[in-house]
Amino acid sequence: MKNRYWVTTSLLVLCVLFLNYLPACAENVNHVNLPAPIAPINGRLSMAITFPGDGSQLDVDGFRRSYTTAKNLGVSLCTLYYMWSELESSQGNYSWGDLDFPMQLLAEQQLRVSFILKIIDTSQLGTYPKDLRFRTFDEPGFVRRLTRFVETLLARYPSQINYLWIGNEIDDYFVSHRDAIPAYKNLLSEVVRAVHAKYPGVKIGTISTYHDAKMQKALDVIEQTGTVGDIVGFSFYPQSISGATPTTTEPYMQDMIAIAKRIRKPFLITETAWSAEGLGGSDAHQVEYLRDLFRIYRRYKDQMDVLGLFVLYDFPGSVNQDLAAQAGIQGQEDFVRFTGSLGYAKNDGTPRPAWSALQEELKKLK
């Protein structure tokens, strides 16, 4: 597909662009109490929870309403995405305010967190504390610093983070840097060892893009990187697989199950969607994909930890246009329409047909 790379490497950038509104909202909160530990929950649906409107006028109650809406739909885990540098600017200099804010509101709704720490962000390295010079993933100083940061993160939010992902969609990076895979696995092994010593209930893993790896004939990268850790995660956007339709994706799910079995790890889907516009998307196709996705999930749910959906509300038009500009693809309206129609409701809050379909499918799981 001509637009495959833009689709598969840019969706998380969208989340970051939109969620950059969080700091402005957090500044309006005079005091944010850290959340107390919350009781275990058994839900198996996660979502990247976005918000209606352009974010400029969204207040604390607006965020709270979105989290409440997601909880009422049946969501039990919220996916959060952060660069390391956003939370630690230099050694020991932490900026927790922007994370305290959503964590507090999520705790109010008894929503757990699937936390993606983007030391790798699709095809490139993430951003690190400014005093930290990257050489290799398993350089002792890098290992110590990352391990210390992860322990500090988990100590600040006890019992809230269920899943911790070290890197996001890492196959897109390692397909061009295969020689770095052993060093990354050494790093991950050290992080797993340290975390399990203090937080044995936290599952640590890797996220890969099944659709990219499939199209690039690089599924072996997923198997190589996925052998370390507790779990392997897949992002899955079948629109980017040549020939895929909303109702012909079950073989891909079977393939993910087979990969997980070969490396002897449980797996989950961190995010998946079919757009309502752009790149062949439509309201009807979005509904068809959702219903078939849940049919497949019901069949294989005993072999999957969690099903992750993307996203609650569409991103605002300005974010989609900004993304196109950053990617150097101004004027690609098909792409802008795709990224701007992934939600189960429009950005103005109007539910799409997929919203009702989602409610119906979730009732079948109860």
- Sequence-distant (6+) residues with CB within 8 A of 131 are 90, 91
pLDDT one digit per residue (tens) for the chain, 366 residues:
333 333 433 444 445 445 544 444 444 433 334 444 444 344 689 999 988 887 666 678 888 999 999 999 889 999 999 999 999 999 999 999 989 999 999 999 999 999 999 999 989 999 999 999 999 999 999 999 999 999 999 999 989 999 999 999 999 999 999 999 999 999 999 999 999 999 999 999 999 999 999 999 999 999 999 999 999 999 999 998 988 999 999 999 999 999 999 999 999 999 999 999 998 899 999 999 999 999 999 999 999 989 999 999 998 877 767 766 665 665 677 778 888 899 999 999 999 999 999 999 988 886
What is the structure's pLDDT at 330? 58
The pLDDT of residue 315 is 87
Instruction: Give the sign of the dihedral formed by CA 8, CA 211, CA 261, CA 271.
Output: positive
Average pLDDT value over all residues in the chain: 86
**CATH number of 33's domain:** 3.20.20.80
Find the domain containing 344 and state its range.
Answer: 4-365
pLDDT at 58: 62
Cβ-based neighbour number of residue 105 at 10 Å: 22
How many Cα atoms occupy the beta-carbon half-sphere of 145 within 13 Å?
Answer: 25
Pull the structure tokens for residue 170.
């890492």
Residue whose tokens read 């693809």: 329
Q: How far apart are CA 320 and CA 335, in angstroms?
A: 9
- Contact between 3 and 279 under an 8 Å Cβ cutoff? The reply is yes
φ, ψ (nearest 5 deg) of residue 267: -140, 165
Burial degree of 281 (CB within 10 A; 0-12, 13-18, 19+):
buried
Structural domains of the chain, count: 1
CA distance 4 to 214: 12
